[in-house]
Structures are given as structure tokens and as C-alpha cells.
Amino acid sequence: DGGITQSPKYLFRKEGQNVTLSCEQNLNHDAMYWYRQDPGQGLRLIYYSQIVNDFQKGDIAEGYSVSREKKESFPLTVTSAQKNPTAFYLCASSLWTGGKDTQYFGPGTRLTVL
């Protein structure tokens, strides 16, 4: 089955901890994205990557970090510097044929700070 997987589905973090969210895709997509979704708000872009070993900040990158060592994988680390990390995190991927490509989403990870 081709698709995007995210793990874990639920994640609990204590104050001051760093946590890493996993995102893997087997669609052979070039670009990958991380979004954050809060109740009553639209999805907001955290980071994106169009090619291995390269990534760019989105609109709300502060307190987050990413890596793109493999085409299939784009993990997101939520650091202790992120002031309000409780949210639903969504990973997406797309081809990159000039930029108008459709983004397809994974099932999401719900992060809760205890």
C-alpha cells in the first residue's frame, strides 16, 4: 500500500522535553511538509523540504527542527523552546514538478504537553 505514515498517533510530553514525530512516505514524492492544526484555525506550515538534505522554514518554525536525510523520511522535533506545543501535527508530501502539485496528508500525530 502506498501512502504516508506518521507515528506515534498520540504523544505526551513533559515540560522541558524534546520529542520527535516520525513521517515516512513510499509514494516516491520529492517534497515533504509539516503542518500544525489547532482547533478553529487553519493548518499552518512549520517546515518543508523539496529535496534531500535541504529544507526551509515555514510560517511558524520557531521551536521546531527537522532533517531530511532520506527521500522517504522527514522527522519533526518539537523542542522545549516551543511555548505551546499541544496540537495536531500533520505531515504531507507531493511531487515537485514546478510547484502546483497536490499535497497528500498522513493520519496525524496528536501531541499533548502534560
Partner 1 sequence: EDQVTQSPEALRLQEGESSSLNCSYTVSGLRGLFWYRQDPGKGPEFLFTLYSAGEEKEKERLKATLTKKESFLHITAPKPEDSATYLCASMDSSYKLIFGSGTRLLVRP
Q: List residues near partner 1 by CB under 8 A.
A: 4, 6, 40-45, 58, 90, 99-100, 102-108, 110
In the complex, minimum distance from the CB of residue 70 to partner 1, in angstroms, rounded to a whole number: 21
In the complex, minimum distance from the CB of residue 12 to partner 1, in angstroms, rounded to a whole number: 16
Closest to partner 1 by CB, 4 vs 87, is: 4
In contact, 91 and 33? CB cutoff 8 Å: yes
In the complex, minimum distance from the CB of residue 43 to partner 1, in angstroms, rounded to a whole number: 4
Closest to partner 1 by CB, 2 vs 40, is: 40
What single-letter amino acid sits at 50? Q
In the complex, minimum distance from the CB of residue 98 to partner 1, in angstroms, rounded to a whole number: 8
Closest to partner 1 by CB, 60 vs 80, is: 60
